[in-house]
Amino acid sequence: MATTKTDPKLAVTANGAKKNKFYGGLTREQLIQAYRVMYTSRRIDDREILLKRQQKIFFQMSGAGHEAVGAAAGLALKAGYDWFYPYYRDRALCLALGVEPYQMFLQGVGAADDPSSGGRQMPSHWSYPSLHIVTQSSPTGSQILQAVGCAEGGRYFSRRPKAGEVPNSPPFAQDAKDGAPTPGIAQASLDYRQFKNVSFRNDEVTYVSLGDGTSSEGEFWEAMNAAALEKLPVIFCVEDNGYAISVPVEVQTAGGTISRLVSGFPNFHFEEVDGTDPVASFGAFQRAAKHCREGLGPAFIHAHVIRPYSHSLSDDERLYRPDTERERDAQRDPVTRTQMFLLREGILDDKGINQLEKEVEAAIQSAVDRALEALPAPPESVTKFIYSPNIDPTASAFETQPANGETTADGKKPATKTMADLINATLRDEMKRDERIVIFGEDVADCSREEYLKRKLVKGKGGVFKLTFGLQCEFGNDRVFNSPLAEAAIVGRATGMATRGLKPVVEIQFFDYIWPAMMQIRDELSTIRWRSNNGFSCPVVIRVAIGGYLTGGAIYHSQCGESIFTHIPGLRVVFPSNSLDAAGLLRTAIRCDDPVLFLEHKRLYRESFGRASYPGPEYMIPFGKAKIVHPGQDLTVITYGAVVPRALQAAQKLEREQGVQVEIIDLRSLNPFDWDTIAASVTKTNRVLVAYEDTLSWGYGAEIAARIADQLFDQLDAPVRRVAAKDVFVAYQPILEDAILPQPNDLYLAMKELTAY
């Protein structure tokens, strides 16, 4: 693709301006509008700096120096039509799209009425749903993959418009408990779609911006690759001010120019432009948007800007930039430059400029006065919107019975299925029911080279554990596809898609490799609803193969680590131990309105333990509901996952030998977890063992044990014990693996000791 380099001198037209003259596609009125936006942006920064010094706001991040490129992007793209993932320097863009100065000051004071976050996020973390400005966070670059997913979501709906429709059903069901209609309880036949307004345009564009330093983040490169591969309509705008805090661009970017590094990506339209010139910048955005809207692929705009106000109010750039360099930058200040341009072209005279600036000052003063009166949200509201306020996945509406008959048509008992079989069947049923479900990840497709399948040359793979086998063949390669080998991209793209209303059910091939996606899971997926004060949500399901007991899995194919994720507010975590629970919990995960980490134990995929016959396409289990897999009154064992069959084995041995009856609780879902069942059982048995496969210290059992010590202290006749893996990694040699992971005999000994206590 061609790179357009704009000479800033050419963008400024010669003297003798006429009334109807266009300036690189901009009318005189648009240029005045651009200047108004730019000047407003700068003056808001100035005012915020003052307010911060007066301790009336608590943080300040300026967009100074970046105003021209922002105003130009806002003029070239359409609010509420295109989609925007701006970064913190994009104040002018937001103003150009329609955000009001008052709203920005509300963010500064942290007001309840701040439409971005209700006082939850720093200023300059934009979020305005009606304008399609998607909630932003603070990690540099984590917005980029989501922008790619957002574009994919829009394209999906434009190709399958029916998928965006909401199933036609009443909004709320009867709560089975008291028969009264209860808002917030989802009917079994309903799901998250009721609360997701899908809107899309066939020629929409997704804008995403970042700084020059941020282009060093791996996620940037993953996003560029994905956008190029899929020819997605994304405009990447690198606002290059030459510094990332104190690190200059030549130390950050090999060769000192990001344009050169990205130039090999196919399908892109490239622009390198003086981002302090609104006319040149507008032209770049117009050409970029045209390329995207025509479906030719993504675009990349490298805009050279300045950063006159240091990195933030906490930074003093004089510590690392000499005056000469700063003065050189000041010559290119976009606000003064544009003002001079308007005067020189006779578009505004001195009086006109004065008038405009006076109007802006008055508007800012009134906005500040009002914002300083605004109230913060009440402290008790802080836990609102961690999860969906609309669908409660612990509700009784998610409790349905398995639909399988006792016998099949020919009078035989139905065949029992493995966990792998029933997860596959549940995915198939849900994909049939809901066209918004897309499945992607590493190796999940049957075969990326579809012609091999069509010509029946191959059978297809469907995942390294074959859990997604046959789904691409049945539902098409736009719904089930292989992603590049990039876990952050899998979760980041899924998050963007879910923000648009799709239901991505993605796979992380091995839990051991979930870590590249950790930033997306911890700082994005789980926080989006809360930080946007319910403005956005992204109910993604992440299926992950987890766990050991594999004899040969070794350190990097055997890890657990679920407590790291149960520690994250906003994320549901489930961990089934058998086929039926896997089917019921997966269906709830897919239909609910929250992000879910669905942990599938590899060792249990094809075990003979816990097989069950197919429970039908409506079988669901609510989250937070444990199952007593073995009743007893002498000791409670709280466990989950692959420790369940091992605990059963140990309990049966103890019962045979000593007549001791152990009650085994399979938690099934770890966040939320079923405290009521635990409390009832411990109150009955007065002794408790918490058993889990992960390393002992700082693990999931610590929280359960602490709660029991705190709330059931009076009920205990013995200390709360834990059995778990040794605090080491899982070794390859089976003898070593056995010594590391909790075995039935370890459980047996602990049970015996506790009952004798």
Ligand X SMILES: Cc1ncc(C[n+]2csc(CCOP(=O)(O)OP(=O)(O)O)c2C)c(N)n1
List the catalytic residues. 557
What, of ligand X, Mg ion, none, does residue 464 touch, CB below 5 to 8 Å by kind?
none
Question: Shortest distance, CB of residue 462 to ligand X, whole angstroms?
Answer: 35
Out of ligand X, Mg ion, none, which partner does residue 140 contact, by CB within 5 to 8 A per kind? ligand X
Q: How far apart are CA 51 and CA 108, in angstroms?
A: 9
Q: How far apart, in Å, are the Cα atoms of 755 and each of 209, 665, 713?
A: 62, 17, 17
Q: Are 181 and 257 in contact (CB under 8 A)?
A: no
Stretch that binds Mg ion, among 206-214, 350-358, 391-399, 613-621 (CB under 5 A): 206-214
Residue of closest CB approach to Mg ion: 211
Phi-psi region of 561 (alpha: psi -120 to 50; beta: other; left: phi over 0): left
63 binds Mg ion (CB under 5 A): no
The residue with its CB nearest to ligand X is: 211
Residue 501, CA distances (Å) to 37, 117, 408, 479, 548 in order:
32, 20, 39, 14, 35
Report if residue 140 touches Mg ion, rule: CB under 5 A.
Answer: no
- Which among ligand X, Mg ion, none contacts residue 245 (Cβ within 5 to 8 A by kind)? ligand X
Pick one of Mg ion, ligand X, none as the site partner of residue 426 (Cβ within 5 to 8 A by kind).
none
Q: Residue 455: helix, strand or coil by DSSP? A: coil
In angstroms, what CA-CA distances link 208 with 142, 148, 238, 348? 11, 9, 9, 32
Toward ligand X, which CB reaches closer, 118 or 141?
141
Cβ distance to ligand X smaller for residue 143 or 241: 241
| Residue 139 contact among Mg ion, ligand X, none, beta carbon within 5 to 8 Å by kind | ligand X
Minimum distance of Mg ion from residue 272's CB (angstroms) = 16
Regarding 421 and contact with Mg ion (CB under 5 A), the answer is no
- Based on CB atoms, which residue is closest to Mg ion, 204 or 217? 217
Edge-to-edge strands, sheet with 662-666: 627-630, 662-666, 635-639, 688-695, 721-725
Measured from the CB atom, the residue of 68 and 506 that comes closer to Mg ion is 68
Rounded CA-CA distance 250/744 in Å is: 59
How far is it, in rounded angstroms, from Cα 402 to Cα 537?
A: 31
Report DSSP state, residue 304. E
Q: In degrees to the nearest 10, what's the CA dihedral of 236, 237, 240, 246? A: -70
Question: Looking at 6, 206, 241, 755, which residue binds Mg ion (CB under 5 A)?
Answer: 241
Q: Which does 269 bind (CB under 5 to 8 A by kind): Mg ion, ligand X, none?
A: none
The nearer residue to Mg ion, 243 or 265, going by C-beta atoms, is 243
Helix residue ranges per DSSP H, 67-159: 67-76, 91-97, 101-109, 142-159
Cα angle for residues 331, 332, 337 (degrees, 5° grid): 100
Q: Which positions lie near ligand X, rule CB under 6 A?
A: 89, 138-140, 210-214, 239, 241, 243-245, 307, 311
Q: What is the 3-state secondary structure (H, E, C) of 321-377?
A: CCHHHHHHHHCCCHHHHHHHHHHHCCCCCHHHHHHHHHHHHHHHHHHHHHHHHCCCC
Alpha-carbon gap, residue 699 to 691, rounded angstroms: 10
Q: Which of 174, 167, 163 is nearest to 191 (CA)?
A: 167
CB of 245 to Mg ion, least distance (A): 8
Of 193 and 302, the one with the shorter C-beta distance to Mg ion is: 302
Q: What is the spatial distance between Cα 311 and Cα 211, in angstroms, rounded to a whole number? A: 11
Residue 86 Cα to chain centre, angstroms: 16
| 214 touches, from ligand X, Mg ion, none (C-beta below 5 to 8 Å by class) | ligand X
Segment contacting Mg ion by CB under 5 A, of 183-191, 204-212, 520-528, 618-626: 204-212
Q: Is 211 in the site for Mg ion (CB under 5 A)?
A: yes
Would you mind telling me the total number of residues written for the chain in this entry?
757
212 binds Mg ion (CB under 5 A): yes
- Among ligand X, Mg ion, none, the one that 424 touches (CB under a kind-dependent 5 to 8 A) is none
* Smallest distance from ligand X to CB 242, Å: 8
Beta bridge partners of 627: 666
Q: Which is nearer to ligand X, 239 or 421 (CB)?
A: 239
Q: Which is nearer to ligand X, 128 or 243 (CB)?
A: 243
Distances 8 to 65, 242, 308, 332, 512 between C-alpha atoms, Å: 16, 18, 20, 11, 50
Residues that bind Mg ion (CB under 5 A): 211-213, 241, 243-244
